[in-house]
A and B are shown apart, each in its own frame.
Chain A
Amino acid sequence: MTTTPSAPETDIRPVSLWRITWRRLLRQRSAQVGGAILLALVFIAVFAPVLAPYDPLEVLIGKEDVRKREAPCIHLLGCPPEKPQHIMGIDGNFRDVFSRVLYGTRVSLFVGFTTVTFAIVAGTLLGAISGYAGGWVDNVIMRLMDVLMAFPSLLLAIAIVAVLGRGLQNALLAIAIVSTPVYARVVRASVLSLKEREFVQASRALGASHAHILLRRILPNALPPLIVQGTLGVASAILDAAALSFLGLGAQPPTPEWGTMLGTERNQVFTAPHLVFFPGLAIMITVLAFNLLGDGLRDALDPRLKS
């Protein structure tokens, strides 16, 4: 039987930067709140079929005693028990708003993550090439990014979708395109500051290829600002996508998307305010979660910014 050497008295294992960051993040109040809301939203998105009392597309007329755009009926708040419970009311097509809002979480999280992933991949590629290559390549790519940034993002997205045609897919593409320049700039700035550092030059002196230097030495060190920007980017992507849907350019009815739900019932705000109130509240909570988490991440990843 072999014996393993006994552990030293004091733990001298190296603590990685990510571990320190994680610990710091857990201490941030805003990150705690944002993270908790986000976890809850992911839970709702995953278990929507279990949590939702109705199918989000099910038209309830003829099946239940419901009226068009009926106000919320909550048994605990005095709604007669013989009536079916609809805690966020009924919409203009006799559907259960609560179920639709729950399913909307799926669409919004999907929108946020896919657009930002696309934008980060494209932006990182462009920014890394631009910063690493320098010269005319840098000039061409960055001037292109300048042009894209010369438009207010939502308006450019509107123009792109207006041309490509309405629909969730085109809206996603438009938002991804307009959010790419930010990531390209962030990555380029990191690459520029990192490529002259000693550890990169050491790697180059050892004969490492450009791809190796860029992928293994530079990009991992350029990640922190990208993560912060990405988290905040999800928030604005969700907000922009909802705005496009609200204008009728994004997700089309009967998709349970919050912006679409708001847009189709906006003229009913005086007669059935619940149809406007709940989807908007859902958008705000989701966007707030990502904003809080992004703020917390920024403070955790960059101690210099901490006030």
Chain B
Amino acid sequence: MLQYTIRRLLLSIPVLFGILLVTFMLARAIPGDPCKAMLGEKATPEVCERFYEEHGLNDPLPTQFAVYMGKVLRGDLGQSIRFSRPVAIIILERLPTTVELSLAALTLAVAIGIPLGIVSAVYRNSPVDVGTMVLANAGVSMPVYWLGLILAYTFALLLKDTPFWLPPAGRLSAGVVAHPFYEVFGWDVPQEGARYFLLEFIANMYVVNSIITRDWAVLKDALQHLALPALALSTIPLSIIARMTRSSMLEVLRQDYIRAARAKGLRRHVVILKHALRNALLPIVTIIGLQVGLLFSGAVLTETIFSFAGVGRMLFEAITARDYPVIQGFTVVIALIYVGVNLLVDLSYVFVDPRIRLD
């Protein structure tokens, strides 16, 4: 297991190298003068010369790449043009929002998708099965941003003045403040260093923060704001998970040992949940892991619609403002997370299926 983990980690090095190379080349592929692209069309030749010198753009390309790689490895993703602040800090501030949103969506998708898939497989060809599969097919074909807008229209406008009303934008209502838990507990934290960023990261996940501080009013407000974006974002993963659970369960349910378990008089739900589901889980876990990429892509669209201040919305704003370092930094970070999650999924197979030996 340890050996396998180390080998997999070593194998990801070429991929990580490739990721950096691709993002580096993307930045170099910006058409026209990088100086004018970054500083605006009015930049004078003298200003540009200084800009080239400062950014090492007069060096040969391999040198530039080496410098870039060294910076990224040290966590330096460059300066945002728009905010004149380090990109890494901006991403760190915005990432918790996206992580919270993605986790909420994934939780919904798993909590609803797996039971739906099981019911569909057990009652194959029943109206429940047909209905679920029709919805699942529609679900994977739906543009996330369209569903988001329809949900916003339905819950914020049509259901106004009912208990089902939900806010269509933002993370908290005006006037509601989520005090970071470390301030509430009176911890003295200097505003720098890894510890501060870790605490900030957790505190910026408002749902988690309000549970820690036991501020139920803020928790309710945060959950209400999270509901619609999470619902919209969960649709595609939910549909995929439901379909995969169904087909995987169908495969397992016709095995002999399932019939044997039933024949020896075990209750139906025991056979389905303990004998069948456990063995059907492997492809489901794989597919859940693959959703992470979809969630981040979907987050760009969902956050844009619901004015959610996460990295997705940040990317959208950066594109609009042509803030290239932010786009580049964001791409690197998301690709790294994606590679990391895929590694975790591979490693989790051992726990899901003890027959698998990773070595």
Q: Choose among A159, A249, A284, A295 the residue with the greatest number of B CB atoms under 10 Å from its CB.
A: A159
CA distance A183 to B351 in the complex (A): 32
Hey, which chain B residues are within 8 Å of A307, CB to CB?
Answer: 247, 250-251
Q: Choose among B23, B31, B146, B293 the residue with the greatest number of A CB atoms under 10 Å from its CB.
A: B146
A276 touches B150 (CB 8 A): yes
A160 touches B26 (CB 8 A): yes
Hey, which chain B residues are within 8 Å of A288, CB to CB?
Answer: 137-138, 141
Asked if B18 is at the interface of the complex by the 8 Å CB criterion, the answer is: yes
CA distance A277 to B29 in the complex (A): 37
Among B45-53, B67-75, B205-213, B294-302, the one that faces the other chain is B294-302
Which listed residue (B251, B293, B301, B331) contacts A247, Cβ 8 A? Answer: B301
A284 touches B319 (CB 8 A): no
B296 touches A155 (CB 8 A): yes
Task: List A residues 233-268 near B (Cβ within 8 Å).
Answer: 235, 239, 242-243, 246-249, 259, 262, 266
Residue of B nearest to A249 (CB): B319
Asked if B152 is at the interface of the complex by the 8 Å CB criterion, the answer is: yes
B331 touches A156 (CB 8 A): yes
How many interface contacts (CB-CB < 8 Å) are there between A and B?
A: 141
Chain A: minimal CB distance from B356 (Å): 21
Total contacting residues, chain B, CB less than 8 A = 53
Asked if A146 is at the interface of the complex by the 8 Å CB criterion, the answer is: yes
Asked if A291 is at the interface of the complex by the 8 Å CB criterion, the answer is: yes
Chain A: minimal CB distance from B242 (Å): 14
CA distance A151 to B333 in the complex (A): 10
A151 touches B334 (CB 8 A): yes
A269 touches B320 (CB 8 A): no
Asked if A224 is at the interface of the complex by the 8 Å CB criterion, the answer is: no
Asked if B9 is at the interface of the complex by the 8 Å CB criterion, the answer is: no
- Given A150-B15, A284-B141, A292-B137: A246 in contact with B153 (beta carbons within 8 A): no
B338 touches A158 (CB 8 A): no
CA distance A270 to B22 in the complex (A): 41
Chain B: minimal CB distance from A184 (Å): 15
CA distance A262 to B142 in the complex (A): 13
CA distance A163 to B339 in the complex (A): 23
Task: List B residues 268-302 near A (Cβ within 8 Å).
Answer: 293-294, 296-297, 300-301
Chain B: minimal CB distance from A228 (Å): 15
A273 touches B293 (CB 8 A): no
Task: List B residues 290-316 near A (Cβ within 8 Å).
Answer: 293-294, 296-297, 300-301, 304-305, 315-316
Hey, which chain B residues are within 8 Å of A144, CB to CB?
Answer: 18
A276 touches B149 (CB 8 A): yes
**Binary per-residue interface labels of chain A (282-298) against chain B in the complex, 1 for a CB within 8 Å, 0 otherwise:** 01110110011001000
Residue of A nearest to B147 (CB): A280
Hey, which chain B residues are within 8 Å of A247, CB to CB?
Answer: 300-301, 304, 316, 319
Residue of A nearest to B318 (CB): A162
Task: List A residues 133-168 near B (Cβ within 8 Å).
Answer: 143-144, 146-148, 150-156, 158-160, 162-165
A262 touches B26 (CB 8 A): no
Hey, which chain B residues are within 8 Å of A276, CB to CB?
Answer: 146, 149-150, 153
Hey, which chain A residues are within 8 Å of B296, CB to CB?
Answer: 152, 155
Chain A: minimal CB distance from B24 (Å): 12
CA distance A249 to B26 in the complex (A): 16
B interface majority secondary structure: helix
CA distance A288 to B142 in the complex (A): 8
A246 touches B143 (CB 8 A): yes
B143 touches A269 (CB 8 A): no
B141 touches A291 (CB 8 A): yes
Hey, which chain A residues are within 8 Å of B143, CB to CB?
Answer: 239, 242-243, 246, 259, 262, 280, 283-284
Hey, which chain A residues are within 8 Å of B250, CB to CB?
Answer: 307
B137 touches A162 (CB 8 A): no
Chain B: minimal CB distance from A89 (Å): 15
Chain A: minimal CB distance from B120 (Å): 12
Which listed residue (A158, A235, A273, A280) contacts B315, Cβ 8 A? Answer: A158
CA distance A60 to B161 in the complex (A): 37
**Binary per-residue interface labels of chain B (1-33) against chain A in the complex, 1 for a CB within 8 Å, 0 otherwise:** 000000000000011001101110011011100
Hey, which chain B residues are within 8 Å of A246, CB to CB?
Answer: 143, 145, 301
Chain A: minimal CB distance from B165 (Å): 13
B146 touches A283 (CB 8 A): yes
Chain A: minimal CB distance from B299 (Å): 10
Which listed residue (A152, A239, A242, A285) contacts B338, Cβ 8 A? Answer: A152
Hey, which chain A residues are within 8 Å of B31, CB to CB?
Answer: 163-165
Hey, which chain A residues are within 8 Å of B293, CB to CB?
Answer: 151-153, 155
Chain B: minimal CB distance from A256 (Å): 17
Residue of B nearest to A33 (CB): B137
- Given A159-B327, A164-B29: A153 in contact with B297 (beta carbons within 8 A): yes
Additional A-B contact list (8), CB under 8 Å, known A151-B22, A243-B143, A283-B143: A146-B18, A153-B293, A153-B297, A247-B301, A276-B150, A280-B147, A284-B143, A307-B250
Residues of B that sit less than 8 Å from A by CB: 14-15, 18-19, 21-23, 26-27, 29-31, 137-138, 140-147, 149-150, 152-153, 156-157, 247, 250-251, 293-294, 296-297, 300-301, 304-305, 315-316, 318-320, 322, 324, 327-328, 331, 334-335, 338-339
Give 15 A-B contacts (CB < 8 Å), ordered by A residue.
A150-B18, A152-B297, A153-B293, A154-B297, A155-B293, A156-B331, A158-B300, A162-B327, A163-B324, A239-B143, A243-B145, A246-B145, A259-B143, A266-B305, A288-B138
Q: Which 6 A-B pairs have CB atoms at the shortest separation, nearest pair first?
A: A147-B18, A280-B146, A152-B293, A154-B297, A287-B141, A288-B141
